[in-house]
Amino acid sequence: MNKLIIYADGGARGNPGPAACGAVIKNNQGEIILKTSKYLGEATNNVAEYEALILALQKAKGIFKARKIKNKNLKCYLDSELVVKHLNHEYKIKDKNLQALFIKVWNLTLDFDSVKFIHIPREENKLADELVNKELDEREKNKSLF
């Protein structure tokens, strides 16, 4: 197993608004080896999309390290066309906040032998999207308890 497949998604209810990110990491055979999500607080959709990828890359790095794998390759699937086009150098990044997140992603990619960023339709990113919505629903539910 020298390749991991990442599905990452982020979202905000309102833009900006309460935001969360989620990621699913699969092995070569397409088996899920990790699901992860995180509440981000107030953020934009684009920030949440970047944060999802950052979370996924950090987790992938840990998986490769724990399994002592030397040749580390990633395929990252995102439904954010903007983020994918930024990372593939097709769009310039004008927003200062997104520039900082781009640099964070770029620095994380240095830990891998190859990383590909691929845009997919939302329908093909349902598992990661479910993690985002679950995180936001939980936060909303807990907020109404107080």
In this predicted structure, what is the pLDDT of residue 128?
98
Residue-averaged pLDDT of the chain: 95
pTM for the model stands at 0.95
The CATH number given to whatever domain includes residue 119 is 3.30.420.10
Residues 6+ apart with CB under 8 A from 77: 5, 6, 7, 8, 118, 119, 120, 124, 125
> Which range has the worst mean pLDDT, 3-12, 59-68, 134-143?
134-143
Domain hosting residue 113, numbered range? 3-144
The structural domain count of the chain equals 1
In this predicted structure, what is the pLDDT of residue 145?
53
